[in-house]
Amino acid sequence: MQTKENTHPADLWSFEFRWIDVVLPQETPALVYDASAQTHLDGLILKIIKSADADAAKAMCVLSLGFAAAQSALESRVFWKICAAYFEAVSLGLCTADVYTKRAASQILLAFRKLARGETDISERLVHDLLFFCAQAIPRRKNEAPLLAAVRGAFGLTQPDSFNDEAPQSGRLDPARLPQTANPVEIESEESVKVIGSLRVDIALYNSYLNEADEWSRRLLTELSEWALELHRPMPQSTVGLVHSLAASSATVGFVALAELAQALQEALQQVQTLGQGDPEHVKAFIDAAEDIRRLLHQFAAGFLKQPDQALFARLKP
């Protein structure tokens, strides 16, 4: 039997959610939402999305605990505690590394960016999905996952009746019991999914990506153009941060071509930072790459998946 392509397993899970301040067995120094934290988080999430990297998940667990410790609002504090438990489960291989867990990681990245901008709304749907994964992630040994155990206990996720009739009591959903469809197109909705070439992107993720990537790419081109006029000065640190964010967010939505160009540009910029001074020829390549990123984004917004200028990759190399 085939499963619906866009049916999230958590849709079959009946759970009445409310905000509960979980008491965790460990404390971590508070971390604020700053540019350094965002750069660190972007890189870790990218590794998790690419390969479910256990070390990156462990680091995200610590980062989440730090964010939780800095929060005075119940919702954001509980959200980060649940994230810590989720990433602990991922680091231990207790969550299946599939499209759904990767989507959850990308949604956490978007939630961070909203919170860092001062927005306070947290998607209860995202929290529901994270708790679903925590319910499915059953520790193999006592004390193996203390954060996960704390969240499972606080929300009653150890109780078998928290699952509906579609979910087996073993703690894992049987894909064969998920609803099926003869035609995957039937379950795709223009209201929820943006289809661009071979990509199918959640519409909320698509809109958020375009808004942020457009601003980042605009600022990137401006900073590079201004720096090109004063090459005796060090490159602004923010320039590398902007292209890093572009690479990470593009990979999150599956826009691999743009992510690869942004990654190549990031590596080239970091090399120039090490040298302390830019070469006019290389700076011209940097600006051309930034302009190509803008071109790719505009075509993506118009519904086309285009490839970067391949000659740029060679020009970006030292």
Q: Give the orientation angle of helix 237-253 with respect to helix 35-51, to 10 degrees.
A: 30
pLDDT, tens digit, 9 for 90 and up, residues 284-318: 999 999 999 999 999 898 888 899 999 999 999 86
Q: Domain 193-316 is of which CATH architecture?
A: Up-down Bundle (1.20)
Instruction: Give CA–CA dist 144/150, Å, rounded.
Output: 12
- Tell me the pLDDT of the chain averaged across its residues: 81
Highest mean pLDDT among 123-127, 128-132, 230-234: 128-132
Question: Average pLDDT of 110-131?
Answer: 86
pLDDT, tens digit, 9 for 90 and up, residues 221-264: 999 999 888 878 888 888 988 998 898 888 888 888 899 999 99
Model pTM?
0.56
Task: For the chain, give every domain's residue range.
Answer: 9-175, 193-316
Q: Give the orientation angle of helix 203-228 with respect to helix 280-301, to 10 degrees.
A: 160
When pLDDT is cut at 50, 70 and 90, the band that residue 276 belongs to is low
| Structure confidence at residue 69 (pLDDT) | 94
| Structure confidence at residue 169 (pLDDT) | 34
| Structure confidence at residue 35 (pLDDT) | 83
Instruction: Give CA–CA dist 162/183, Å, rounded.
Output: 31
